[in-house]
Amino acid sequence: MGSLKNEDDLELIGNELKEAIVYVNGVRRVLPDGLAHLTLLEYLRDSGLTGTKLGCGEGGCGACTVVVSYFDKNSKKCVHHAVNACLMPLYSVEGMHVITVEGIGNRRYGLHPIQESLARYHGSQCGFCTPGFVMSMYALLRSSRTPPTEEEIEESLAGNLCRCTGYRPIIDAFRVFAKTDNALYNDISSLSLQGGEFVCPSTGKPCSCGSKTPTRNKGSTTECNAFHEMHGPISHSETDGSLYTDKELIFPPELLLRKLVPLNLSGFNGLKWYRPITLLHLLELKARYPNAKLVVGNTEIGIEMRLKRIQYPVLVSVSHIPELNTLSVKDNGLEIGSSVKLSELLKVLKMVTKERNAYETSSCNALIEQIKWFAGTQVKNVASVGGNICTASPISDLNPLWMASRATFRIVDCKGHVRTTMADNFFVGYRKVNLAPGEILLSIFLPWTRPFEYVKEFKQAHRRDDDIAIVNAGMRVYFEEKGDTFIVSDASIVYGGVAPISLSLPKVSNYLIGKNWNRVLLMGALEVLEKEINIKDDAPGGMVEFRKSLTLSFFFKYFLWVSYQMDATDIPASDLSAIQSFRRPSIIGSQDYEIMKHGTAVGTPEIHLSSKLQVTGEAQYADDMAMPPNGLHSALVLSRKPSARILSIDGSEATSSPGFVGLFLAKDVPGGNIIGPAVADEELFASEFVTCVGQAIGVVVADTHENAKLAARKVHVEYEELPAILSIEDAIRSESFIPNTGRCLLKGDVELCFESGQCDKVIEGEVQVGGQEHFYLEPNSSLVWTMDGGNEVHMISSTQAPQKHQKYVAHVLNLPMSKVVCKTKRIGGGFGGKETRSAFLAAVASVPAYLLNRPVKITLDRDIDMMITGQRHSFIGKYKVGFRNDGKVLALDLDIYSNGGNSLDLSLGVLDRAMFHSDNVYEIPNMRVKGRVCFTNMPTNTAFRGFGGPQAMLIAENWIQRIATELRRCPEAIREINFQKEGSVLHYGQKLQNCTLTQLWNQLKLSCEFSRAQEEVDQFNSKNRWKKRGIAMVPTKFGISFTVKSMNQAGALVQVYTDGTVLVTHGGVEMGQGLHTKVAQVAASAFNISLSAVFISETSTDKVPNASPTAASASSDLYGAAVLDACEQIKARMEPIASKNNFNSFAELASACYSERIDLSAHGFYITPDIGYDWKTGKGDPFRYFTYGAAFSEVEIDTLSGDFHTRAANIFLDLGYSLNPAIDVGQIEGAFIQGLGWVALEELKWGDAAHKWIPSGCLYTCGPGTYKIPTMNDVPFKLSVSLLKGAPNEKAIHSSKAVGEPPFFLASAVFFAIKDAIKSARVDEGLTDWFPLDNPATPERIRMACSDQFTKPFASPNIRPKLSI
């Protein structure tokens, strides 16, 4: 890299000005012509930089985050921005420096402080999202001239999703940088530090925590104490101790001197890419190509081209036109160029609000607030103001504000003529604007607001962070003084999300003008508003009643806000809660556990063994594996109908598609086409009928992934449509059930109890339980290849069950399983979704791989993955409960129905566990639980964390709440009255042993000071009408074991080498849960060696055969015990040698044993004892033991919008003597936040009777743009996790307990706290009866349940918003 030293260098660079170049991690690269169709992500991954991940392809998850640096000639500074590489056109980074996670640190030469801190703080579990988080944080530190605040750190991570950790450890890891000296991150070499002293990243001052003369002896390591009490990052290499700050990438000097040049490049299928650098050149291009698409951030066009498959033949990058990038502060307003990035606009808006009179910047403040929630940082860094305007989205957050704020748009045509139009007149139809084909938007002029002019923004989305609006608004009023009063002189009320365009309401505005701002005006305006907005019942997006109510709620909020700004004295104190601004505090986490050490490693809070590979991007996943030279990519041909007969399949057009190699259908399958994990009831490729949208009909292979997808779309299938069943209710009406799935559990005599008069009250009801998408960050991927001319088949797969892949592939290829090998290094999250549904994908890829004798890779795009691989089962529970007046439950009669989809898969097992958990923790003398699995024309649903247990427990907690309402008692009191205890016999005959439920509950109650919390909530609610708080405590009991007895077995292979190191192979898969780490700890303690001496490489079917899936929370129990068995065998063989000599090390002992010809390899095996339930006889114990837990939550809701946040969550769990308390705490937090998503955020919307605006049988929520998992902003303000102390579990290895699934249900405490808050709002309206609330408790459900004068015009108080079940 170096620096420029003389004129010859300058001349050399001058000769290269016409090259399209980019620097990647300090290395100069020339970009050839013909790559305009590529994104930066595709280029990087094709170049071998696979640390940057493909998570969604639409800029919604942050896994692909990289840093782009360029020299800003206006500010004369290097700018460092985090961007989504999946959306960045490759040529848009020409002349820039791209830094990926590989460029800032690695294990060989040293980790960056950010990477080291994240690893140390347990901030990486599956690791797939980790590089994105690292680079977002890196961008913030590189661009911060002053230490970032904790708020800035959290904001910088808003565009990054994590499904494993629950975010808390990530926040803790990065919080240390809030006090960092950023000299380390602003291109300053350590040579500039005085005397060469090391600057501590924690304090920003010279210190001794980094060695001035680090040890460099080969193989030696040095320890650094930079983590002062775990409050600062380590900044040295684990390998050789070198200071990492010496290696910070500088901005390439060539790019400082390089002149900007126009680009004229091309791409696949005739795509043209232009980069003009003058306005004149741009206008010439626009004249030549009137329909050319102008590109800045590509955040909209990229999604249109990738996901909507819209083809734009000419793209013109306008990022470098000076006139379009102006940001000029003038006396009368702010001139904003149309290419100005939102992040740059935000900086200027913040600056002017500090520098100008407060009355002038009302519209600026509104824009600041709206941009804050507009999108993640990566999107705001590239998305342009003009792009957002000209997209003309009806839910644009900013367009209503431009319209309301009297903004004007300057438009220039190809001849240079400029015209001006009001923003109010710019939007003429759905995604249509007032621009002629030869015109472009030049700039936006935002006038300063006048004294007594007030502009305010409003927005409600499914999720606060990084989400599109359901309804938004911009409102402005201007008052003039008349005598002693103020009269509305001018007004503008604009809404988004209620019409095909951002809708200005002239009738409402005109009504306001000339009137006093008082309650009379409010009531009249609401009447006009209600009539002026007309959302049709079948409007796209649905939620019609909610959207209508939001329009009234927003105006009411605006009325109160303006009144407050005008110092009105007649605002009731309780109404002020409607306008109180919310500023989220920094997250505070606490973890309380005891360390019960066993041997050298068991019981200690070790970091994840792969964490340092994951934070550097060096950890490899299935799609990271390099394609062999003759490898092919595949794409599925999928059904577009939910139920139909296939009449014909025509692949003729596909054969002429670029790069096409072959199309394979059912007739081409060499072996069996019928597959299934439990019962063979589904086809690999549909042959005659399709039974859901997304069912595989065939597979196309081609030379590239894009070519394979293009060819697959050209395969034409003709159908004869048949009636479809698209919900549980449809299935019940049609008696559509999967055969042999009827189940029944009995205890006592339910009918006798109901009829005998023992019950003081009997209630009946129905609970609807929504499904959930797994949303593992790594999409499904498999690479399949043949060996020995097709005699063997090998594969690398992202799966929780390699044995199922082996079995499926052997079956469809008609090969013995001994000739099929499946290997899994690690997977980027699974949660049950990769237990069975990944197997059919490997089988699909194996068919062309085997027949063509060429490697084939299948990697699903996020939308396809979500559409075809199934989700958590939705349920309907119909209950009848009898109880006494003191709250004691005497009888439960429960019918539960699950939505199985179009095949059985694991649905019967899910139903079994649901029925076993239908009591949750409650002693019920008389129970009858019946269950059925419904057949529907939807993709088959599958395993998901909890495996049916959470759905059944949620049903139970609903009727517990119902009892509390009937008796006017606290739900927590009803729970306590009915708790099971030691010796309780469950409804399937199992007797509880070592029950710690009451102990946990009492400790939690004491810890959260429940009585005081209840008093504070009641006090708050009495003083606030429009904000309400609620609390809840919820218990759980989760059975540990597979409910299929034969699956409770495990094998392991342990090999000791003569240098004293140990290689462990077992049947479990590492998917972020720390299984390999715990198993390695078991082995290390068994041999009394350090953890670093134990290595686990991969899971492979040719090392450990017939392994059960890594599921049911039981893997640590099973594989830990199997490994321990193998270790004990080896130790027994070593004992005679060890007893005769006094060895100084384990290596000496191993070497001596080798010399004595002692076998140092052993196969371990374990079966879970004393389990097995027989459904025919109704006898046996299905579970080895139970994991108990309880959680407290406090929430606050905005009753006018349905928004909520979790103020506190306190979680207690009994995990016995934890094998690794740090990993277990991470599992608890991750499960809790994932559960929070299920109960409050994540809603699946299908094309069914409840959502007729969606095509029949299609999944609408098939990506992060429409499906919202929790973000960092959804983490409770205070998140406390405590492990029960002094409660060993004698029934599992080293007295531990399973942790993966049990905490998930505890997030229902948030759900019931929300319901508690809604209850308070309803009481204010005189509504005290029971009301339904289905999960997820989205803003729509919260808002509509808080019935008031703004919802009653559109819905009854007991409205039940539609749910796809």
Cis peptide before 32 (omega within 30 of 0): no
Amino acid identity of 1229? E
Measured between alpha carbons, how far is 27 from 148 in angstroms, rounded to an integer?
29
- Among candidate residues 1068, 1062, 1071, 1064, the one with its CA nearest the CA of residue 1101: 1068
Find all residues with CB under 8 Å of 106, minimum gap 6, and list them: 616, 618
Measured between alpha carbons, how far is 637 from 698 in angstroms, rounded to an integer?
5
Neighbouring C-beta atoms of residue 77, cutoff 10 Å: 12
> Using CB atoms within 10 A of its CB, is residue 510 exposed (0-12), middle (13-18) or buried (19+)?
exposed
Q: How is residue 1092 annotated by DSSP?
A: G
Neighbouring C-beta atoms of residue 1103, cutoff 10 Å: 18
Specify the DSSP element, H or E, that contains 881: strand 875-883
SS3 874: coil
Active-site option among 19, 1301, 1325, 1340: 1301
φ/ψ (deg, to 5) at 320: -110, 15
Cβ atoms of 432 and 389 within 8 Å: the answer is: no
- Among candidate residues 909, 1033, 1046, 1039, the one with its CA nearest the CA of residue 987: 1039
SS3 455: strand
What is the crossing angle of helices 837-852 and 802-813, to 10°?
Answer: 40
Cα of first residue to Cα of last residue in the chain, in angstroms, is: 58
Find all residues with CB under 8 Å of 802, minimum gap 6, and list them: 822, 823, 824, 1069, 1099, 1100, 1101, 1107
Cβ atoms of 129 and 140 within 8 Å: the answer is: no
Structure tokens at 511: 């009504």
Cβ atoms of 682 and 903 within 8 Å: the answer is: yes
- Among candidate residues 972, 948, 946, 949, the one with its CA nearest the CA of residue 960: 972
Query: How many distinct helices (H) and strands (E) make up the chain?
Result: 36, 49
The CA R_g of the chain, rounded to the nearest whole Å, is 32
> Using CB atoms within 10 A of its CB, is residue 909 exposed (0-12), middle (13-18) or buried (19+)?
buried
Question: Is 1301 noted as a catalytic residue in this protein?
Answer: yes
Q: Map tokens 């307990």 to a residue.
A: 1297
Q: How is residue 785 annotated by DSSP?
A: E
Cβ atoms of 1182 and 1150 within 8 Å: the answer is: no
Find all residues with CB under 8 Å of 1291, minimum gap 6, and list them: 1184, 1185
Structure tokens at 956: 């139970």
Could you write out the three-class secondary structure of 271-306? Answer: CEEEECCCHHHHHHHHHHCCCCEEECCCCCHHHHHH
Cβ atoms of 1116 and 1293 within 8 Å: the answer is: yes
∠ Cα 52 56 62 (to 5°): 50
Measured between alpha carbons, how far is 85 from 67 in angstroms, rounded to an integer?
9
φ/ψ (deg, to 5) at 143: -100, -5
Cβ atoms of 979 and 921 within 8 Å: the answer is: yes
Backbone φ/ψ region at 609: left (φ over 0), alpha (ψ -120 to 50), beta: alpha
Measured between alpha carbons, how far is 664 from 1024 in angstroms, rounded to an integer?
64
Active site residues: 1301
